[in-house]
Amino acid sequence: MKLLTSHLSLLKKAVAGALLALSSQVFAGFPVDINSASAAELAEALDGVGMSKAAAIVEYREEFGPFMEPSELVAVRGIGLVTLEKNRDFILLTSDPELVATE
């Protein structure tokens, strides 16, 4: 019985590890306009960006105006170079968020 319990424990750990590895590879962001998206949309679209970081992006945008370059995201508290690089292909920009709203 002890041997069976040991094998089951190892099997659980192996499955958990495999699922964790798979989940990090499965996440694929999708394009999002960081100048017009809501915090919820940003959190859903960007890898490594939860609701608090997404809210910080929106607050920064409201205080300082629209982002002109994706690299400006690192000025937002909690957003670093790693997060920027993971999401660079999904970051869209508009200089006029009102224009996006009418399209």
pTM above 0.85, yes or no: no
Q: How many CA atoms lie less than 13 Å away from 70 in the CB half-sphere?
A: 16
15-45: per-residue pLDDT in tens?
555 555 444 444 558 899 999 999 999 999 9
For residue 100, pLDDT beyond 80: no
CATH for the stretch 32-102: 1.10.150.320
Contact 58, 40 (CB under 8 A): no
Listing DSSP states for the chain in one string gives -HHHHHHHHHHHHHHHHHHHHHHHHH-----EETTT--HHHHHHHSTT--HHHHHHHHHHHHHH---SSGGGGGGSTT--HHHHHHHGGGEE--S-HHHHHH-
Closest listed residue to residue 72, CA positions, set 16, 46, 34: 34
Task: Work out the pLDDT band at 14, boundaries 50, 70, 90.
Answer: low
63-80: per-residue pLDDT in tens?
999 999 999 999 999 999
